[in-house]
Amino acid sequence: MIHSLFLVNASGDIFLEKHWKSVVSRSVCDYFFEAQERATEPENVPPVISTPHHYLISVLRHRIYFVAVIQSEVPPLFVIEFLHRVVDTFQDYFGVCTEAAIKDNVVVVYELLEEMLDNGFPLATESNILKELIKPPTILRTMVNTITGSTNVGEQLPTGQLSVVPWRRTGVKYTNNEAYFDVVEEIDAIIDKSGSTITAEIQGVIDACVKLTGMPDLTLSFMNPRLLDDVSFHPCVRFKRWEAERILSFIPPDGNFRLLSYHVSSQNLVAIPVYVKHNITFREGSSQGRFDLTLGPKQTMGKAVEAVLVSSQLPRGVLNANLNPSQGTYTFDPVTKLLTWDVGKINPQKLPSLKGTMSLQAGASKPDENPTINIQLKIQQMAISGLKVNRLDMYGEKYKPFKGIKYMTKAGKFQVRT
Sites for another protein among residues 33-52 (CB under 8 A):
40-41, 43-44, 46-48, 50
Sites for another protein among residues 12-31 (CB under 8 A):
13-19, 21-23, 26-27, 29
Q: Residues 127-165, buried b or exposed e (16+ Cβ, 10 A)? A: bbbbbbbbbbbeeeeeeeeeeeeeebeeeeebebeeeeb
Provide the minimum distance between the beta carbon of 281 and another protein in the complex, in angstroms, as a whole number: 14
Sites for another protein among residues 249-308 (CB under 8 A):
258, 261, 263
Distance, CA of 340 to CA of 163 (rounded, Å)? 50
Among positions 374, 386, 397, 410, the unique one binding another protein when judged by CB under 8 A: 374
Provide the minimum distance between the beta carbon of 347 and another protein in the complex, in angstroms, as a whole number: 28
Among positions 86, 109, 264, 379, the unique one binding another protein when judged by CB under 8 A: 109
Question: Between residues 84 and 324, which has the closer beta carbon with respect to another protein?
Answer: 84
Sites for another protein among residues 126-165 (CB under 8 A):
142, 145-146, 148-149, 151-153, 155, 157-159, 161-162
Among positions 75, 285, 302, 363, the unique one binding another protein when judged by CB under 8 A: 75
Q: Residues 366-405, buried b or exposed e (16+ Cβ, 10 A)? A: ebeebbebbbbbbbeebbbbebebeebebeeeeeebebeb
Among positions 32, 36, 59, 177, the unique one binding another protein when judged by CB under 8 A: 59
Q: Which stretch binds another protein (CB under 8 A): 238-246, 295-303, 347-355, 397-405?
A: 238-246
Distance, CA of 245 to CA of 103 (rounded, Å)? 48
Provide the minimum distance between the beta carbon of 182 and another protein in the complex, in angstroms, as a whole number: 17
Sites for another protein among residues 336-365 (CB under 8 A):
365
Distances (CA, A) of 221 to 228, 238, 388, 390: 12, 13, 9, 5
Q: How many residues does the chain have?
A: 418
Question: Between residues 188 and 397, which has the closer beta carbon with respect to another protein?
Answer: 188
387 part of the interface to another protein, by CB under 8 A: no
How crowded is residue 74: how many other Cβ atoms within 10 Å of its Cβ?
18
Q: Which residues pair with 181 in a beta bridge?
A: 208, 405
Provide the residue type at 202 as one letter.
Answer: I
Angle at 68 between CA 64 and CA 71, to 5 degrees: 160
Size of the site for another protein (CB under 8 A): 102
Site string for another protein, 183-222 (x = CB under 8 A): -----x-x-x-----xx-x-x-------------------
Q: Which stretch binds another protein (CB under 8 A): 8-16, 211-219, 293-301, 394-402?
A: 8-16
Say if strands 402-417 and 178-191 run parallel, antiparallel, or are unpaired.
Answer: parallel
